[in-house]
Structure 1
């Protein structure tokens, strides 16, 4: 048997007969059609809009107020502490490429961000996408400079 649009049929039991509501008590869904006697949900038309919770603050409005929800478009960085920079040669320029060459950064997937943990005693010119306030202060206190790059 070949398969074509004219030979396609639904599987047995997949299509059930439509309930004929309001056709007397013998049909099982007579008079009020299974909606009960009174109330908002027994009236004709859509009883409430989707997501309505009877006047209570609905789920879609109360969820984003709670904590621990992820940012939609988070910024990712390759992070490095100031303490790691102290082993570099004084007066050199530090950027993501030189850090990869020196082996301090192994996977440069994202832009570089310098964090302020540790001490720095060498003068460096640091080029990064972002600096923490403490990292910038420690680099400039050692006589170096911070340059923001995109």
Structure 2
């Protein structure tokens, strides 16, 4: 291979438009820029989002963050909070009745925080982390599959 034989592959380099070559090529006279105006002039450009001096959309709208609506429906329960329950089977209804999770909660996950001193059975509708599962089983409880 020699340097004088290297060439780019077919179709990798697009031919540039040849403007101002007469009326037969649709890019003659105004060269595809239309008639008058800022965009027709040489050097006539404006920054992205510029609206001719009007307050741009990104500055008219208020700055707001993002709040996931799913976050309101899910809750985390610590292992230590399960000690205050008077029932042996922990399910979503018992957690709502004990005021541990809000009423509108749909998904609950038990995390390993604190310690569990009594044996409880956790229903299958409640998710459990690996560490929390080990702690529940160490306390003599079980997790329904």
TM-score by length of 2: 0.48
TM-score by length of 1: 0.47
